[in-house]
Amino acid sequence: MKFDHVTGKCVDLSFEGKGVVKLSYGTVFVDGLFLGEEAEIEIQYKRAGSYFGKVFRLIKKSPDRIQPKCGVCTACGGCQLQQLAYKAQLDYKTKKVGDAFKRHKVENIEVLPCISAENPYEYRNKIQVPIGRDAHGHIVSGFYRSGTHKIIPIEKCWIEDPRAGKIISVLKDLMKLFHYAPYDEDTRTGLIRHVLIRTSYHYDEVMVTLVTNKDEFKGKNNFVKEWIKRCPNIKSLIQNINTRDTNVILGEKERTLYGPSVIKDSILGVDFLISSKSFFQVNPVQVEKLYKKAIDFADLSKEENILDAYCGIGTISLCASKYVKKVTGVEIVKEAIVDAKKNAKLNNISNAEFLLGDAGEVFERLTAQGEKYSTVFVDPPRKGLDQKFIDTLLRIAPEKIIYVSCDPETLARDVKLLSEKYDIKQMQPVDMFPMTFHVETIVGLYRK
């Protein structure tokens, strides 16, 4: 039986910030429907036994519903919660973390209220924007409509650093001036595919990566000069060449067209060099709150050695280094270890070492050599810790594990396994991604 339009009431928000509507024949997940609201819902598709829809007509509005700043946020899909008052967003994220732990049967926990952002807008320091044409042939930039490759044209994104808007606007003007066509996925023709912009919060530095469908193109030098002239805050301009028929944004080959190959930013007074492909937290204000809270949870002392698994370019390692005797960072990505060593040298930090390899294997080898670590920081990707590393943690059993996570579900799963030998003493969500359903969480685990 097909259900085109149904009427229902939102009883909860899902993991992805969708309104949850319970009907006699199943659950409907609805974009842009908030707790307590009633609506006529247009069912769009069914997947894995659940229905997915959008609001056709609001019947009863939540007092927490607000007018969004962005006129296309419901079409773009990048800001799932921009129509929800910020306090209600924070409450949702606090509850989301607690619900994940309940599902994994982790008992007797207190989730502290989610730490807010002073300004929940204009925070993103990394922006990836596709370039294309609209139905009239005009060059447009924006974001893909959720689940499609259709570009929703956007002149100003309210969650990105405002410096990005002018740079993208100038690029589109110069594309017309130099007769550069945007890439067409169907015909695989055109030059400009994407533009990536990274901004520094603490320094007036901007890196632009232009993704092109060709290695060389006519008028490149004059194009670069004119772009820099009109946007003098661009410190670094990189060309990334991607000639493949793929949804992957970046290609393997890069060259620097202007300036250095890195820009610099700072976290808790420690400077970091950021390349076009470096992982660096996207919210420069909230990341300081995140790392400060993680370090506070660890209650570090100058007598202890600590391990930072999944250390990336050394952000947590170097921020924590001044509180301890020695910090060892481990990372499986070679380029990140190279960057971490450069960042230690940049800050004259001599008590941090960085090792390439699998976190569990390196941890095993170091402890077998007699090294002892009182605290282990883990900040894994969204998939969480692998079973092998969890087994290693349980076997070696450091005194404290400080777990930083971007996914409450995998965090709760891993903490449940670690609770065999560890008690949870603190759990703190941090709103790193306002206007979206994402949340970072820090858990302090202490050996029983």
Please state which CATH number belongs to domain 92-118+282-447.
3.40.50.150
Q: Where does the pLDDT of residue 3 fall: very low under 50, low under 70, confident under 90, or very high at 90 and above?
A: low
**Residue with token string 């820099």:** 228
- Helix pair 359-368, 387-396: axis angle to 10 deg: 20
Read off the pLDDT of each residue in 117-136 and give the average, rounded to a whole number.
95
Answer yes or no: is pLDDT of 160 > 70.
yes
At 162, is the pLDDT very low, low, confident or very high (cuts 50, 70, 90)?
Answer: very high
Q: Same fold for the domain at 5-65 and the one at 92-118+282-447? A: no
User: Active-site residues: which are they?
Assistant: 406
pLDDT at 1 over 50: no
The whole-angstrom separation of Cα 231 and Cα 220 is: 16
**What number is the average pLDDT over the span 168-185?**
96
CA distances from 220 to 198, 206, 263, 316, 387 (A): 21, 20, 22, 39, 50
In the predicted model, what is the mean pLDDT of residues 129-155?
A: 88
Task: Report the chain's mean pLDDT, rounded to a whole number.
Answer: 94
Residue 148 has pLDDT above 80, yes or no: no
Q: What is the mean pLDDT of residues 347-357?
A: 97
pLDDT tens for each residue of 87-114: 999 999 999 999 999 999 998 889 999 9
Q: Coil, strand, or helix at residue 47?
A: strand
CATH class given for the domain over 5-65:
mainly beta
Q: Are 306 and 231 in contact (CB under 8 A)?
A: no
CATH number of 126-267, picked from 2.40.50.1070, 2.60.40.1180, 3.40.190.10, 1.10.3720.10: 2.40.50.1070
Q: Give 311's pLDDT tier (boundaries 50, 70, 90).
A: very high
**What pLDDT was estimated at residue 415?**
97
At residue 25 the predicted structure's pLDDT band, cuts being 50, 70 and 90, is confident
* Rounded percentage of the chain residues whose pLDDT exceeds 70: 99
What are the residue boundaries of the structural domains of the chain, listed by start?
A: 5-65, 92-118+282-447, 126-267
Selected residue with higher pLDDT from 393 and 74? 393
Checking if the pLDDT of 231 tops 70, the result is yes
Q: pLDDT tens digits for 273-301?
A: 999 888 899 999 999 999 999 999 999 99
pLDDT at 246: 84
pLDDT value of position 374: 95
Q: What is the pLDDT of residues 186-218, one digit of tens each?
A: 899 999 999 999 999 999 999 999 999 999 999
45 close to 38: Cβ distance less than 8 angstroms: no
Q: Residues 57, 59, 63, 64: is their CA dihedral positive or negative?
A: negative
Which residue in 263, 259, 249, 279 sits closest to 163, CA to CA? 263
pLDDT confidence of 128, banded at 50, 70, 90?
A: very high
Tell me which residue has tokens 């989610």. 114
Please give the structure tokens belonging to residue 412.
């709760």
The shares of helix, strand and coil residues in the chain, as percent rounded to the nearest 5, are 25, 35, 40
Query: Quick one: pLDDT at residue 2?
Result: 55
Residue 225: pLDDT over 50: yes
Each residue's pLDDT tens digit, 364-389: 999 999 999 999 999 999 999 999 99
